Structure 1
Amino acid sequence: MAKNPEDFNRKFKIYVDFERPPEIELPLIGFLFNCRGILLQWQYVKDNILEFNLDKLPPGNRNRKIDPEQLKLFIAPASDKKITRVKTTQELQSYKAYEPILRLNDNNVLDILPIPEGLSIFWIKCKCRVSGKVSKWFNFGNGWEDLPVCRARVHICEVDPIMFWIRKIPDHIIAKVPDAVLNPKFKVPIPIPDPGPYQRIERFPMMSGGLNEENIFKTQSLPEMRKETLSLLPELGPEIKQQFASGNLNVIRDTIVKNYALLHPWFCFWPWWWPYFYRCQELAVVETNAAGRFEKNIYYNCFSDKPDIYIWVEYMIDGVWTTVYKPPKPCNIHWNYVCGTDINIHLTHPRVAGDCCCDCELIGEDVWIRTLGHTSVSHIKQGHQMLAPPGQSVAYDRIGLTDAGAAGDSFLVTTVDDYKRPFGGSPILRMGFGPALPNANVYYYRWSYRQRANADLDFVGDSYKPLPPKGGEVRKGYQYRYKDANDDWQWAPESKKLGPFTVGPNDNLYIIPPEEPTMAPFNVPADSHPHWHQETYYMDTIQFDTTVIQNFENGLYELKLELFDQAGNLFQNIPKANFKTPRHDDARYSENAPNVLLENPTATNADAFNMLIRVDNGQCVGDIYTVNVNGTPASSNCCGFVKYKPEGVEAVLELSFKATHPTDFAEFSFGVVKGTCEGFSIANAKGMVIDSASGYTLNTATGVYSRSFTPIELLGECYEDGAGKAAFAETLHIISTATDGISRVARDYSRTVAFALEP
């Protein structure tokens, strides 16, 4: 203890040494905080000396009385330059900093003990290359393909070794571990994840033939659930159980460290433990290239096992970095990652676009009208075609509809050239522009619309009106580079307004953006290395909300794309070959736009591009009705039983439900389950709400489907010569088929009811 702390020199030196010197030289840095955790200074360690000068503090702190023994000192490795940005003691935890106790010796000199070997071993790093690929499934007309996702931002994190954090976990948390493992009392078991990386690749529900219905009668007792769940957990040996039962917290901590891989599935049971046992440090952020690949050298603790890697991904959507992949940490960690092996990630987020290409620039003044959302404009029916849905007989006109799949399709099955979808919600018109644009002749574009027919396809006389953009304007985002306060390069987002503008005689015009933000008319400084979030060969040109545009009721609409010169004058008589559309069989390839998609086409020229789309935001309506017995609703009491043998004679039983949509753009799935019996499908039905389906007859006036059954047909193995009984559940799902070009526009209905049959 110091003889006189008042004589403490505010400019002081501290000798820094190791309990066991590392084999390689480690640069060190020291952070000095006051007793309230406010950072006073940081300094590098030079020649084993850490020197601070408190006379150089800001004026508010410079003259305050300081008790040196109340200061907080942290020493950490300085190999990562980002450590100089640290402002709090909490931020230093990820650097595994050493916090010595400051003591004044008899000569009023501050002393600390050497850095312990048990900590410094975590400061010695080895190199490891983390690599992988980010991709997503896309449909291009006649099939699905797994394609790379470029310019995704991949966050590479390392889960800190439990041996470092175990001493910092509070005693009351450690004390709960033995009882939770040895005497599990969980009320509702959750699925046990794989100890290794767990990735669920969501393929496409629209490729499935049906909807997985949950049997509401299939249950387990709590003891059965516990037994089944415990059987999935790894067995703990008698030695581990004995150590957990010791009651000694130090022994329990050591047992957790030594058997962490074995205990991981147990820890996944209690999410409230995860923040204590799964601390993650972000090591790098990298962007995927045109092949969707990423790689980065990281550094991990040489003393411990291979790094445990966790990955999450962002993607630029509407000018904002949006998280598109971030699964729960405990079940998605790549334990003991083998350096250099690929970590492959499949995205399912509907707004992630498949526009990676290393050499996709268009030619000259080409204008490629590509998609609504992700729906190819070549898969929107432009002519009348009367066809019935598969398995049904009532035909409907396919004009303006698309055959594209969509996220959230559930049991809806789409096939090529089976046009059943209108558009709704907020579609995005996506286009590409050639490198010779903009120029004096072709400088602006404008989208307009007019209604051609109502929901019943009766003709409507209408004139073109400018298509209003969602949010009031269209901006094109880009990313640029700048230097921060530490002279390190950083990236930031910015955007330029494309429109609407009034220029010359016309309004609602939008600038055709150049290939790079550095080019006119935007002229972003080249030294900031800017690049567009979306390349000009495949970009959003306008998003419009069909639910809020005035007078945009359900029906058939014509969308028109016009081009204007730099003075705002309409440019017509354009070479037809300048207008491109995707090929019907493969949307990655272009073709000259057919005449049906052009305005006033001649042998060589056209005035504009136009196309027909059907718009429908209708709401599904449904219900499930009481079982009819001999044509009369069953008069069941509150016990829920329906008598199928009134007065000793077996009755005709009728199941009925309602499934409607204002314009029939919906599909239904009606399912019946019997107790816990398997394979009961005799009463199930599925189809478009336009017609009878699966043996159920549609009353077109009421929208009610009905079908009659005998008791033995419904009871089956439960019939017991006319004396049996059984419980049933009826489930009805009605889903709208409309799409915004990416996701299904859900205007759905669902209900589940139950009944029981008895003689």
Structure 2
Amino acid sequence: RCDEITTVRTDFNGRFEACFWRQIFEEKADLYFWVEYEIDGVPTTVYHPSIPCNTYWDYACGEEVHIRITDPRVPFGCHEPLPGEIAWIKTIGWGAPVSRIEQVPGASFVQQGRMVPTVGLTDYATGGLGHGLSNQKVRPFARSLRFIVQFGSGFPGGNVTHYRWSYRKTHNDKLVPASASEQAWAPLDDIPVSKAYTTEVTGPGGVTTFHTGHHQLGPFPIGSVNAYKIPPVSPKGPDVANDPTAEWDQNTATITVDSTSLKGDGLYEFKLEFFNSAGVRQNVADTVNQVSDPANLGQSQPAGSAFLLPASEDGFKPFRMKVRIDNQPSTAQIYSVLVDGKASSTECGFVQYDNKGISGVNFRFRASHPNDFATFGFNVVRGNSADPLSDADSSGMVGASTANYVLGADEVYRNTVSVATLLGTCPDKAAFAEHLHVNGLHTNGTSILDDFDASVLAAFALEPK
């Protein structure tokens, strides 16, 4: 049986404390914790592990409890207010640091014998990727994208009270320069944005509960533009909650961009501009716009020229980031095997071979993505055997040949394996299963998007003539 003792709120650094009473001769308490985090204004469970292995049995009073949150929706770092006039452009989504999105147009790396361009791509959540892709910038952005910014205590101020994002498409999905009309800046000024805060409410019996409110950031018409209010550091004041218990995250989702509603897949630039209350664009110092230190994501540093529009294009040099957008799915297809030039031609999948010693099985499959933003794994299994058929298996990044398979101009992978190798210990016939999984590399900056994956199964059986 579990009895709830109390509910507490952490400080900006995730620390908390709570008092509970027990009789002096009462046995020590066994403590279990679960954690909720406000996501989109809704308290959401982000830590609720199994009880047996995650209970602090016979808890010693005063001992610190360490809880590790791994849910990617919870942003990293400490969230104390920043002093001064600073706009720390932190992440796309809650996890992809802006500073770790490639900004150099010609950047690339070698993979499976070809050059892979990386401009606009992120290395978010690539540590576990194989095929030489670990910690490489290989993930494009897709679906709904949130731009997360932490504003310093100097904002909003007399000269800067509002912000606005704009975008333009510079290249298509093949990195060919976009048309002149596509390269014109377009404001993102019609998307409703609000910032959630929580307040404490004491009810009957002195029980404290948390309530959620929302402060509208915009868009609001000011002068001749639509723009968004920069939120103050604290929501306690009369301009927001007017409540001394009010708290909110120092990180602000400044805009949510539906990437499918833009001008098609390709390389985009997004810029951040500031305005006063009359709608007049303001020129801020270069050091106002900051990004995370790539080597220490918990610290900020001035954005630098890679993230600022050049003065030759805009004398105000606003913040600008390059982002590769791709919303195209992967393809997985297995073709009938060829044995001695003949394909398995019935739904039963049987195919005959001429001579066990010299006959070969030609495997063919398609694992592809229009812009090669995927990896794949192809596996062949004989019956229920644990005997590995490594000569027939393959994996890698799509768009290039692998150690076992040659990629043809028709985007079909091919490899021939001898019948004898496939039969193994089976005398003269056996059944086989083929599985192909294509893993899209897409992310929204918070999660890896599995709906860009593709998968297919096939089967065949070998028998002698």
The alpha-carbon distance between structure 1 residues 295 and 678, as it changes in their structure 2 partners (threshold 3 A), is farther
Query: 1:585: which partner in 2?
Result: 295
Is 1:465 paired with 2:181? no
The counterpart of 1:338, out of the listed 50, 59, 68, is 59
Which residue of structure 2 lines up, in the alignment, with residue 594 of structure 1?
304
Question: 1:372: which partner in 2?
Answer: 92
- AA of the residue aligned to 2:413: Y
C-alpha deviations, 1:288-327, integer Å up to 9, x for none? 3445344433356888864444432211111110011234
The aligned amino acid for 1:545 is D
In the TM superposition, 1:469-618 aligns within 5 A as 472-486=191-205, 489-507=208-226, 509-519=227-237, 522=239, 524-526=241-243, 528-532=244-248, 534-535=249-250, 538-547=251-260, 549=261, 551-572=262-283, 574-601=284-311, 606-618=316-328
- Higher helix fraction: Structure 1 or Structure 2? 1
Structure 2 counterparts to residues 623-662 of structure 1, below 5 A? 623-635=333-345, 638=348, 640-644=349-353, 646=354, 650-662=358-370
Matched, 1:751 2:456: yes
Q: Secondary structure at the match of 2:20?
A: strand
Does residue 684 in structure 1 map to residue 388 in structure 2? no
**2:442 — aligned with what?**
738
For residue 415 of structure 1, what is the amino acid of its counterpart? S
Higher strand share goes to which structure? 2
CA distance in 2 between counterparts of 1:302 and 1:636 reads 78
What is the Cα-based RMSD across aligned positions, in Å?
A: 2.9
| 2:71 partner letter | H
User: Cα deviations across residues 72-104 of structure 1 (Å, max 9, x unaligned)?
Assistant: xxxxxxxxxxxxxxxxxxxxxxxxxxxxxxxxx
1:497 deviation in Å?
0.7
| Residues 684 and 694, structure 1, Cα contact 8 Å, conserved in 2 | no
Give the superposition deviation at 1:624: 1.5
Give 1:637 shift.
7.2
- What is the 5 A alignment of 1:151-550? 159=1, 280-299=2-21, 306-327=28-49, 331-332=52-53, 334=55, 336-340=57-61, 344-357=66-79, 360-373=80-93, 374-385=95-106, 387=108, 389-390=110-111, 392-405=112-125, 414-416=133-135, 418-460=136-178, 461=180, 462=182, 463-467=184-188, 472-486=191-205, 489-507=208-226, 509-519=227-237, 522=239, 524-526=241-243, 528-532=244-248, 534-535=249-250, 538-547=251-260, 549=261
* Residue deviations 1:506-554 (CA, integer Å, cap 9, x gap): 11x111111112347x15435x32221x11xx3321111112x2x4311
CA deviation profile, 1:157-193 (whole Å, cap 9, x unmatched): xx2xxxxxxxxxxxxxxxxxxxxxxxxxxxxxxxxxx
Residues 300 and 678 (structure 1 numbering): CA distance in 2 closer, same or farther, change over 3 Å?
Answer: farther
Q: 1:452 to 1:708 in 2, by over 3 A?
A: same
CA distance in 2, matches of 1:652, 1:489: 73
The separation in 2 between residues aligned to 1:610 and 1:710, in whole angstroms, is: 56
| CA distance in 2 between partners of 1:710 and 1:669 (Å) | 21
Amino acid at match of 1:362: L
Question: TM-score, normalising length from structure 2?
Answer: 0.88
Confirm or deny: 8 A CA contact 1:626 1:656 kept in the other structure: yes
Q: Distance in 2 between matches of 1:438 and 1:696?
A: 59
- 1:134 is aligned to none
One-letter amino acid of the structure 1 residue matched with residue 338 of structure 2: N
AA matched with 2:19: N
Residue aligning to 1:245:
none
Structure (1 or 2) with the larger CA radius of gyration:
1
Match of 1:311, SS state, is: coil
SS in structure 2 of the partner of residue 670 of structure 1: strand
Distance 1:295 1:700, change over 3 A: farther
Aligned-pair distance for 1:672? 2.1
What is the CA–CA distance in structure 2 between the aligned matches of 1:708 and 1:456, rounded to whole Å?
Answer: 32
Q: Render the CA deviation track for 1:605-642: whole Å, top value 9, x for unaligned.
A: 7431111111001111111122211233134672x444
Task: Give the whole-Å Cα distance in 1 for the aligned partners of 2:273 and 2:422.
Answer: 61
CA distance in structure 2 between the partners assigned to 1:444 and 1:287 by the alignment = 30
In structure 1, give the amino acid aligned to 2:186: K
Kept in 2: contact 1:405–1:414 (CA 8 A): no
Aligned to 1:442, the other structure's residue is in SS state coil
State how far apart, in whole Å, the 1-side matches of 2:104 and 2:142 are: 20
Asked if the contact 1:448/1:465 (under 8 Å) is kept, the reply is yes
Identity level (%): 34
Question: Post-superposition shift, 1:754?
Answer: 2.9
Task: Specify the code of the residue in structure 2 equivalent to 1:401.
Answer: L
Q: C-alpha displacement at 1:658, in angstroms?
A: 1.1
Contact 2:131 2:396 in 1 (8 A): no
Give the Cα–Cα distance (whole angstroms) in 1 for the partners of residues 356 and 86 of structure 2. Answer: 79
Task: Supply the distance in 2 between the matched residues of 1:303 and 1:758 (Cα, whole angstroms).
Answer: 77
Distance 1:379 1:580 in 2: 13
Mapped partners of 1:429, 1:600: distance in 2: 22
**In the alignment, residue 505 of structure 1 is paired with which amino acid?**
S
User: Partners in 1 of 2:449 and 2:271 — Cα distance?
Assistant: 24
Looking at structure 1, the residues matched to 40 and 290 of structure 2 have their Cα atoms a distance apart, in angstroms, of 25
Q: Which amino acid aligns with 1:569?
A: V
Equivalent in the alignment of 2:404: 695
Task: Indicate how the Cα distance of structure 1 residues 446 and 668 shifts in structure 2: closer, same or farther if over 3 A, else same.
Answer: same
Structure 1 match to 2:329? 619
Distance 1:351 1:399, change over 3 A: same
- More relative contact order, 1 or 2 (CA 8 Å, 6+ apart): 2
Shift of 1:451: 1.2
CA-CA distance at 1:599 after TM superposition: 1.9
What displacement does 1:414 show?
A: 4.3
Gaps of 5+ in 1: 1-158, 160-279
* Aligned CA distance change for structure 1 residues 737 and 707 (closer, same or farther; 3 Å): same
> Distance between the aligned counterparts of 2:428 and 2:272, measured in 1?
68
Aligned residues: 455
